[in-house]
């Protein structure tokens, strides 16, 4: 199959194969960009969770690297640093939850394009096949054409449907994989929020002297 034959097939499909190429390029662009972005977000979030687990001092004084500061998780640390030292748990929880809500659109950005490709590609393939079959059956009106030319035209028309299904299957696999990464990162954000709430005021409390110190720690841990 040479280049000229491919262009001939594209023309017989009503030009839908050209649109298939555009959809494939869009799908591959979204897949590559989102895979790299979400992979960096997920690995960075795992590192921050591990850092919080190992931190024994004041978590509001933790310093992030330049790479970590570009993560959506870093917004939670900014809220923690800006929050008043005497803020209660409820106020800090609301601030952290608001920060998470602001970061959600950056995680599933462009995934709608991949979802559209998954839905549109099979429909375009079917449309191209119908046009190709019109051309194939039109050949029956010419007495100079034999049956093999008609069946060959139908087989060529089915290439549009096969192309649409291939693009849809490829996009569906990566869409599910990318959406799973989005859910994992959202879980990381919620985990970091809970870890901050459980550690922040415990470490900032001024303990009184004597036996009451133990009771203060227990009270704050149950809060």
- Under 8 Å between Cβ of 192 and 45: yes
138 or 105, greater pLDDT: 105
Work out the pLDDT band at 211, boundaries 50, 70, 90.
very low
pLDDT higher than threshold 50 for residue 217: no
Domain ranges of the chain: 3-222
Rounded to two decimals, the pTM is 0.74
How much is the CA Rg of the chain, to the nearest whole Å? 29
pLDDT-derived band of residue 149, with 50, 70 and 90 as boundaries?
low
Q: Helix H segments across 55-88?
A: 66-69, 74-82
Share of the chain above pLDDT 70, in %: 67
Question: According to the model, what pLDDT value does residue 44 have?
Answer: 87
Q: Which two tokens stand for residue 186?
A: 């959202």
Residues 213-220, mean pLDDT to the nearest whole number:
38
The listed range with the strongest mean pLDDT (78-87, 106-115, 141-150) is 106-115
Is the per-residue pLDDT at 205 higher than 50?
Answer: no
pLDDT tens digits, one per residue of 126-141: 888 887 777 667 666 6
Residues 6+ apart with CB under 8 A from 97: 193
The per-residue b/e assignment along 179-218, b for 16 or more CB within 10 angstroms, e otherwise, is: bebbeebbebbeebbebbbebbbeeeeeeeeeeeeeeeee
pLDDT over threshold 70, residue 110: yes
Q: Are 70 and 45 in contact (CB under 8 A)?
A: no
- pLDDT, position 148: 55
150 falls in which pLDDT band (50, 70, 90)?
A: low
């Amino acid at each position: 199959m040479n280049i000229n034959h491919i262009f001939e097939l594209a023309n017989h499909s009503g030009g839908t194969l050209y649109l298939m190429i555009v959809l494939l390029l869009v799908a591959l662009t979204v897949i590559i960009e989102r895979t790299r972005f979400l992979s960096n977000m997920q690995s960075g979030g795992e590192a921050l969770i591990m850092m919080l687990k190992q931190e024994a001092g004041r978590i509001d004084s933790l310093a992030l690297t330049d790479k970590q500061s570009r993560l959506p998780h870093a917004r939670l640390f900014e809220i923690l640093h800006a929050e008043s030292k005497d803020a209660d748990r409820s106020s800090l929880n609301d601030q952290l939850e608001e920060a998470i809500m602001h970061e959600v659109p950056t995680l599933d950005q462009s995934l709608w394009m991949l979802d559209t490709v998954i839905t549109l590609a099979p429909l375009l393939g079917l449309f191209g096949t119908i046009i190709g079959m019109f051309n194939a059956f039109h050949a029956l009106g010419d007495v100079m054409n034999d049956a093999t030319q008609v069946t060959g035209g139908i087989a060529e028309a089915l290439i549009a449907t096969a192309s649409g299904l291939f693009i849809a299957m490829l996009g569906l696999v990566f869409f599910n994989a990318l959406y799973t990464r989005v859910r994992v990162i959202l879980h990381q954000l919620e985990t970091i929020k809970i870890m901050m709430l459980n550690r922040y005021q415990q470490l900032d409390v001024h303990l009184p002297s004597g036996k009451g110190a133990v009771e203060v720690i227990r009270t704050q841990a149950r809060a």
